[in-house]
Amino acid sequence: MRKDLAAAIVALGTGLFAMGASAAEYSGFYIGAGVGKTGIQISDEEVGLDFDADDTAFKAFAGYQFNRYFAVEMGYFDGGAHSDEIEGIDLSVDTSGLTASVVGMLPIGDVFSLYGKLGMASYDAKVTASFQGFSESEKASEDDTLYGVGAMFDIGERFQLRAEYEVINIDDGDFNMLSVNGVYKFGS
């Protein structure tokens, strides 16, 4: 019994040491940029609003990866200009904002990983309504929860490709972004 316990402790210690050694080669700062498609769905039955539109979006981000399993990330996104016509009124919603999130990664092999992220988004939205030559705009700033999932593929030691789906929970709806991103890693 003691031999089994001692063997388990040695195996655990060796595993933790190996994990720490491999974690060092995956740590460091990184920057990235991406392009994708965003969608906004807003529904409010009280006022009869059912807005659903999409557009092209861009984003830039930077982060620090502590090891193969954990990183923190901040970013900027330009969500595009979403337009929809509701009962003869042209509505347009322009969005942009900042994000901060924690990223948890699950390596599958040496070059491929799945990941999830959870954080906050602080964004500005400009809503414009146009009807028969008249136009009215209103701006709003909000802070909401951000979550997402993705897959990353390492290309050499410094470059990475990511495919990502993110959602921001907005009042009475969702803002989502599906993007392809390139990442440059500064760390060792």
Q: State pLDDT tens for residues 72-112.
A: 999 999 988 877 777 777 878 888 999 999 999 999 988 99
Report yes or no on 33 lying in a domain: yes
Question: Of the given ranges (79-83, 96-100, 169-173, 182-186), which has the lowest mean pLDDT?
Answer: 169-173
Residue 17's pLDDT is: 41
Report yes or no on 8 lying in a domain: no
Report yes or no on 12 lying in a domain: no
Report yes or no on 16 lying in a domain: no
Residue 151's pLDDT is: 97
Report yes or no on 84 lying in a domain: yes
Report yes or no on 17 lying in a domain: no
Q: What is the pTM of this model?
A: 0.78
Higher pLDDT, 33 or 9: 33
Question: Of the given ranges (22-26, 56-60, 74-78), which has the lowest mean pLDDT?
Answer: 22-26
What range does the domain containing 156 cover? 28-185
Higher pLDDT, 67 or 84: 67
The CATH number for 40's domain is 2.40.160.20
Distance CA 60, CA 174 (A): 21
Report yes or no on 15 lying in a domain: no
Report yes or no on 21 lying in a domain: no
Provide the domain count of the chain. 1
